[in-house]
Chain A
Amino acid sequence: MKTRSITTALFYLLLLVFAAWYIVPFVWAFATSVKQPGMVFDGRWLPYERTHSISIDGQVQEIRIVEEHDDTFLVRVVGNNELREVRRSDVERLSPNWNNYGETWQAVPFGQFFLNSILVTVCITVGQLITCSLGGYAFARLQFPGRDTIFFLYLATMMIPGPVLTVPIYLLLREYHLLNTYQGVILPGLFSAYGTFLLRQFFLTIPKDLEDAARIDGAGSFGVYMRIILPLSGPALAALATFVFIGSWNDFFWPSIVLTDPDLLTLPVGLALFNDLYLFQYSRLMAGSMISIIPAILLYLVFQRFITRGVVMTGLKG
């Protein structure tokens, strides 16, 4: 019994170590994001503010800090030039600098980046669900010459890494003047061999009897697709939607190549630009990344089970 409780304690300890490994970067970034100007590198986690006027003998006096010690400050009282030793807590007080967020939000068009990301991601997710489910249904259930050859080609292209495709797609978009447009980001995202494959595999597991029964009732192929296949494929469609949504929301490589106009940038590309503009201004940078991290975490907490299942089903890559 005793060794068991020791083991349990050890397990909790290890879990806490892992928890720290994942949570400390966020806490630290958040703490930095609300620090007061001039106090960013004070080596403390909590945001302190220094006042320039303290109450001495019942009178509010303006002061200048001369020397810092561990618990005390040597300050010069501006009014009478007198040097005084005061407690650190008289001069410093906790005060999160929320303005940092407002100023960061204004520094680059974050609002626009969010809208761009939402537009691009929603179009790609909806579009891919449509093309992949139509194609997946055709491969799983419909008969037509060349079906299996075409499907084999799909599988073969899945072996080719994305960067091989980007140069020709870039040239294609350039030819049709789609560089630096939303369409340039969205169009290549509307198709996925992987998504088609994933849905085909799922559709194959749906009992054929259901489809036959619907056909006897007079349903055509489209009717079967709409009324049998799609409603029974909730988990697979949700998993693919999660996969595509997270992937395109966070995509950096492709949008960074296609988009250059600051008003068109998606959130990750905009953040990278912001990162270049505010070099070493860490409280700003942390506020900027928090602006993108906090909504993602909140969404994740709401849809946690759902997202985890989607990740497992699709083998989503980070």
Chain B
Amino acid sequence: MNTRSFRHSLVGYAFLLPNIVGFLLFALGPIVFSFLISFFNWDLFARPVFVDTANYETIFTEPGARFWSYFGNTLFFLIVVPVQMAVALFAAWLLNENMKGTLFFKVLFFIPVVLSVVSITIVWAYILDTENGLLNQLLGFAGVSKVSWLYDPAWIKVGISLMVVWQGSAFSTIIYYAALQGIPDQLYEVAMLDGAGRWTQFLRITVPLLAPTHVFLAITGCIGALQLFAPIYVMTHGTAGAAHNLIFEVYGKAYHEFSMGYASALSWMLFILIFIMTGLHWRFLGTRAEYA
């Protein structure tokens, strides 16, 4: 290596230095470390003890089928993904008609994106309040009796999902709206000449052409839904209760029980879950996306 290219390399490393220090300390290092300690028992006070794959086995063999309970809850929240996508697609489609006053609606529909989950959840916890909440009041007009959204184990996940859909649909609306703007008007004009109505145009042109956006929103949506934490924490005041999911299990094991090895093993289960989920999306939606 001559001195000139050596100097060039030094310049390259110099530029990368602050970045790579962060990468090693807060990304690569922790990943390797997390993988290693997932094979140890470590409570922060005594020395770590090598336990082989015992932590991973314990996840499945814990008494009371705990794993299946929080694993089931984790999967339950995936329900928000199709719902928020459907809501958002419809909202974006309406906005894309570019009727008078669209700007007002657009600004309004996008607001939830910038708000903190915590503040919105506090508002929604009151909306879902059994005695005085808005939702039960509205349902009361329709003759539905009061639902204990936040205290009935059967309903709490639904209550939380509603709030998550409310905020998540705003983000998806922005993304869908941006994608809709990229569909050429000519396609609709041709369809119109062929006598296709609005609804047919929506189903035959809009929905298929948005395939890459569907995949993107499905994947990011699932990754988010599998890691739902703040809404559950705030709604249940940190207890999670019947909404206890995998992230809460990691949180509890790591920061309340200080079982660092076990918590790490659990967090890798989350990785596997996300990995499988993303793979499935590519497998079943990805191929269709290529047409667009």
**B161-180 interface bits toward A, Cβ cutoff 8 Å, 1 = contact, 0 = none:** 00000111011001100100
Tell me which residues from 98 to 115 in chain B have a Cβ below 8 Å from any Cβ of chain A.
99, 105, 107-115
For A225, list chain B residues within 8 Å (CB): 15
Q: How far is the CA of A118 from the CA of B120 in the complex (A)?
A: 20
Closest CB in chain B relative to A158 CB, distance in Å: 9
CB nearest to A128 among chain B residues: B22
**A133-176 interface bits toward B, Cβ cutoff 8 Å, 1 = contact, 0 = none:** 01101110011110100100110010111111111111110100
Choose from B23, B29, B174, B250 the contact partner of A311 (Cβ within 8 Å): B174
For B260, list chain A residues within 8 Å (CB): 167, 171
Comparing B64-72, B151-159, B270-278, the segment that makes contact with chain A is B270-278
**In the bound complex, do residue B5 and residue A143 qualify as a contact, i.e. CB atoms below 8 Å apart?**
yes
**In the bound complex, do residue B234 and residue A29 qualify as a contact, i.e. CB atoms below 8 Å apart?**
no
**In the bound complex, do residue A132 and residue B19 qualify as a contact, i.e. CB atoms below 8 Å apart?**
yes
**In the bound complex, do residue B237 and residue A164 qualify as a contact, i.e. CB atoms below 8 Å apart?**
no
**In the bound complex, do residue A312 and residue B174 qualify as a contact, i.e. CB atoms below 8 Å apart?**
yes
For B251, list chain A residues within 8 Å (CB): 257
Q: If the complex has contacts A296-B115, A308-B110, are A289 and B123 also in contact, measured as CB distance less than 8 A?
A: yes
Choose from A26, A32, A150, A249 the contact partner of B126 (Cβ within 8 Å): A32
Mostly, the B contact residues are helix
**B71-103 interface bits toward A, Cβ cutoff 8 Å, 1 = contact, 0 = none:** 000000000000000000011001101010000
For A111, list chain B residues within 8 Å (CB): none
Most B-side CB within 10 Å, residue of A18, A162, A190, A300: A18
**In the bound complex, do residue B19 and residue A316 qualify as a contact, i.e. CB atoms below 8 Å apart?**
no
For B22, list chain A residues within 8 Å (CB): 131, 190-192
**In the bound complex, do residue B108 and residue A142 qualify as a contact, i.e. CB atoms below 8 Å apart?**
no
Most A-side CB within 10 Å, residue of B18, B21, B107, B115: B115
CB nearest to A12 among chain B residues: B99
Q: How far is the CA of A271 from the CA of B79 in the complex (A)?
A: 28
Q: How far is the CA of A221 from the CA of B8 in the complex (A)?
A: 9
For B23, list chain A residues within 8 Å (CB): 153-154, 157, 191, 193
**In the bound complex, do residue A191 and residue B254 qualify as a contact, i.e. CB atoms below 8 Å apart?**
no
For A300, list chain B residues within 8 Å (CB): 110-111, 114
**In the bound complex, do residue A19 and residue B264 qualify as a contact, i.e. CB atoms below 8 Å apart?**
no
Most A-side CB within 10 Å, residue of B110, B113, B125: B113
Q: How far is the CA of A315 from the CA of B216 in the complex (A)?
A: 9
Q: If the complex has contacts A138-B12, A318-B167, are A159 and B26 also in contact, measured as CB distance less than 8 A?
A: no
B198 interface hit (Cβ, 8 Å): yes
Q: If the complex has contacts A161-B223, A164-B31, A170-B255, are A275 and B134 also in contact, measured as CB distance less than 8 A?
A: no
For A144, list chain B residues within 8 Å (CB): 8-13, 16
Q: How far is the CA of A256 from the CA of B247 in the complex (A)?
A: 14
**In the bound complex, do residue B33 and residue A168 qualify as a contact, i.e. CB atoms below 8 Å apart?**
yes
Closest CB in chain B relative to A111 CB, distance in Å: 16
Tell me which residues from 1 to 56 in chain A have a Cβ below 8 Å from any Cβ of chain B.
7-8, 11-12, 14-15, 18-19, 21-26, 28-29, 32, 40-41, 43
Closest CB in chain B relative to A51 CB, distance in Å: 24
Choose from A23, A28, A168, A272 the contact partner of B34 (Cβ within 8 Å): A168
For A282, list chain B residues within 8 Å (CB): 126, 129, 132
**In the bound complex, do residue A157 and residue B31 qualify as a contact, i.e. CB atoms below 8 Å apart?**
yes
**In the bound complex, do residue B220 and residue A252 qualify as a contact, i.e. CB atoms below 8 Å apart?**
no
For B44, list chain A residues within 8 Å (CB): 171, 174
B41 interface hit (Cβ, 8 Å): no
Choose from B26, B33, B99, B117 the contact partner of A268 (Cβ within 8 Å): B117
Q: How far is the CA of A164 from the CA of B32 in the complex (A)?
A: 10
Q: How far is the CA of A15 from the CA of B107 in the complex (A)?
A: 12
Closest CB in chain B relative to A186 CB, distance in Å: 11
For A288, list chain B residues within 8 Å (CB): 119, 122
For B97, list chain A residues within 8 Å (CB): 11
**In the bound complex, do residue A250 and residue B254 qualify as a contact, i.e. CB atoms below 8 Å apart?**
no
CB nearest to A18 among chain B residues: B91
**In the bound complex, do residue A43 and residue B16 qualify as a contact, i.e. CB atoms below 8 Å apart?**
no
Closest CB in chain A relative to B260 CB, distance in Å: 6
Tell me which residues from 94 to 110 in chain A have a Cβ below 8 Å from any Cβ of chain B.
none
B46 interface hit (Cβ, 8 Å): no
Choose from B91, B112, B134 the contact partner of A24 (Cβ within 8 Å): B134
CB nearest to B229 among chain A residues: A253
**In the bound complex, do residue B94 and residue A14 qualify as a contact, i.e. CB atoms below 8 Å apart?**
yes
Q: How far is the CA of A26 from the CA of B122 in the complex (A)?
A: 11
Closest CB in chain B relative to A142 CB, distance in Å: 4
For A285, list chain B residues within 8 Å (CB): 122, 125-126
For B116, list chain A residues within 8 Å (CB): 249-250, 252, 267-268, 271, 292, 296
Could you give 24 example pairs across A and B, Cβ below 8 Å?
Answer: A8-B99, A11-B99, A29-B126, A131-B19, A134-B16, A135-B18, A135-B19, A137-B15, A144-B9, A157-B27, A160-B27, A164-B31, A165-B26, A165-B27, A165-B31, A167-B263, A188-B25, A252-B233, A275-B234, A275-B237, A282-B126, A286-B123, A293-B115, A318-B112
5 further interface pairs, Cβ-Cβ under 8 Å (given A157-B28, A308-B174):
A15-B95, A22-B108, A170-B254, A225-B15, A275-B125
